[in-house]
Amino acid sequence: MKFGTKAIHAGVHPDPTTGAIMTPIYQTSTYVQRSPGDHKGFEYSRTHNPTRSQLQDALAALDNGKHGLAFATGMAAIDCIVKLLQPGDEVISTNDLYGGSYRLFTKVYQNYGIKFHFVPMHDMTAVEAAVTERTKLIWVETPTNPLLNVIDIAAASAVAKKAGALLVVDNTFSTPYLQTPLELGADMVMYSLTKYMAGHSDTVMGAVIVNDDELHQRLSFYQNACGGTPGPQDCFLVLRGLKTLHVRMQRHCENGRKVAEFLKAHPKVEKVYWPGFEDHPNHAIAAKQMRDFGGMISFVLKGDRQADAVACLEKFQLFSLAESLGGVESLSGHPATMTHASIPAEERRKAGLSDSLIRLSVGIEDADDLLEDLQQAIG
């Protein structure tokens, strides 16, 4: 089945009791049993809920994976993955990643005796150099947030396999429309469903997709034991969003290209970060592992001054200044003070993240209006 057909049909089925074509919102905490232990597969909604089950199946199908697990937030999904580790274990992560992931790793799990190495993963020799006999997890985000570096998933998988470590890919920026990491050797794919997958900036949720049955069992245990599960209404919203994922992503990519090219040609723009450019340092890997280049773009104005970036952000009319990304509407952000403020300034600079960097989530509006907004804001 092709991707667009799967986005609409895979994992879901008409409601067995009424024939409702859309998965109902099973707004219930518990399920009546005929006799103790004799039930219809549902006992308590933290453990299982029919709306969540269909979402989990749909998510697994889109990533060509076997099992999906849904969480109340993307952070709860990441938290569940890190719970697989023991004190003394080590993690290698990209040094250019979502600030919230960095905060969870360094401010929470480091205190539990887990060690994190942050390296520029677009250079795989840096990953290999950080491997020790305690390396248990390799954490990839690609393209990275917010510098749009592209990490070679197949090469990271080879390093992980040699080290006996699990490879996780945070696929939030790409979605399975653009890349399917399990097919490139990843053990787990992780999402903030809040973004492109739900797609309408109206819900916060996360997910993990895996193939391995034992890994699925371990993650399911923590999903239930720790309880970071989503409610059925949110699952319904993501299920609805997934049905248009392919159409939205196609337009995000088309608009992304137009915006990136406009910015690159603008005399007041110093640098544009977008993996679709042939001169992007990781373009060849992006072209190999991605089906298109997405709608996330970062740029720096000439002079590299934070005050100019702030003035530009204040002038946007359509690119609303807000946290998050991946919704139908265009958003702008200032990573240094917003999404990435939890990364210390020195670490940000080391990763090449300037305090004047502007990040855009290009929406699916008419591209001409977006270019006009950029023109008036940049001046």
Ligand X SMILES: Cc1ncc(COP(=O)(O)O)c(C=O)c1O
Among 48, 86, 84, 85, CA closest to 69: 48
Distance, CA of 112 to CA of 88 (rounded, Å) = 9
Site for ligand X in 274-313 (CB under 6 A): none
Closest residue to ligand X, judged by C-beta, is 74
194 counts as binding ligand X under rule CB under 6 A: yes
Stretch that binds ligand X, among 37-45, 97-105, 265-273, 283-291 (CB under 6 A): 97-105
- Residue whose CB is less far from ligand X, 75 or 147: 75
Q: How far is the CB of 170 from ligand X (least distance, A)?
A: 5
Q: Give the DSSP letter string of 289-311.
A: H-SS--SEEEEEETT--HHHHHH
Q: Among 49, 94, 192, 354, indicate the residue that binds ligand X (CB under 6 A).
A: 192
Number of helices and strands in the chain (H, E):
14, 12
- Residue whose CB is less far from ligand X, 313 or 367: 313
- Residue whose CB is less far from ligand X, 204 or 309: 204
Options 46, 134, 258, 315, the catalytic residue: 46
82 counts as binding ligand X under rule CB under 6 A: no
Specify whether 348 is catalytic.
no
- Residue whose CB is less far from ligand X, 73 or 201: 73
Measured over the CA atoms of residue 256, residue 263, residue 194 and residue 282, the dihedral's sign is positive
- Residue whose CB is less far from ligand X, 24 or 231: 231
- Residue whose CB is less far from ligand X, 83 or 266: 83
Site for ligand X in 118-157 (CB under 6 A): 141, 145
Stretch that binds ligand X, among 52-60, 68-76, 120-128, 147-155 (CB under 6 A): 68-76
75 counts as binding ligand X under rule CB under 6 A: yes
Options 79, 96, 170, 308, the catalytic residue: 170
Distance, CA of 108 to CA of 304 (rounded, Å) = 33
Q: How far is the CB of 145 from ligand X (least distance, A)?
A: 5
Q: How far is the CB of 72 from ligand X (least distance, A)?
A: 8
Distance, CA of 11 to CA of 353 (rounded, Å) = 40
What one-character DSSP code corresponds to residue 224?
A: H
Q: How far is the CB of 36 from ligand X (least distance, A)?
A: 37
- Residue whose CB is less far from ligand X, 145 or 157: 145
Structure tokens at 286: 């992006």
100 counts as binding ligand X under rule CB under 6 A: yes
Specify whether 46 is catalytic.
yes
Give me Rg for the CA atoms of the chain. 21
Distance, CA of 52 to CA of 237 (rounded, Å) = 11
Work out the number of other CB atoms within 10 angstroms of the CB of residue 87. 9
Stretch that binds ligand X, among 11-19, 36-44, 94-102, 310-318 (CB under 6 A): 94-102
Stretch that binds ligand X, among 71-79, 88-96, 211-219, 353-361 (CB under 6 A): 71-79
Distance, CA of 166 to CA of 284 (rounded, Å) = 25
Specify whether 79 is catalytic.
no
Site for ligand X in 196-225 (CB under 6 A): 204, 206
Bridge partners, residue 67, by sequence: 210
Q: How far is the CB of 208 from ligand X (least distance, A)?
A: 12
Helices (H), 16-92: 50-62, 74-82
Burial class (CB in 10 A: 0-12, 13-18, 19+), 29: exposed
Binding residue count for ligand X, defined by CB under 6 A: 14
Task: Put the strands of the sheet holding 67-71 in their side by side order.
Answer: 67-71, 206-210, 188-192, 166-170, 135-141, 90-94, 115-119
Catalogue the E-assigned strands of the chain.
67-71, 90-94, 115-119, 135-141, 166-170, 188-192, 206-210, 269-273, 296-301, 320-321, 331-333, 358-361
Q: Which residues are annotated as catalytic?
A: 46, 98, 170, 195
Q: Which residues bind to ligand X, rule: CB under 6 A?
A: 73-75, 98, 100-101, 141, 145, 170, 172, 192, 194, 204, 206
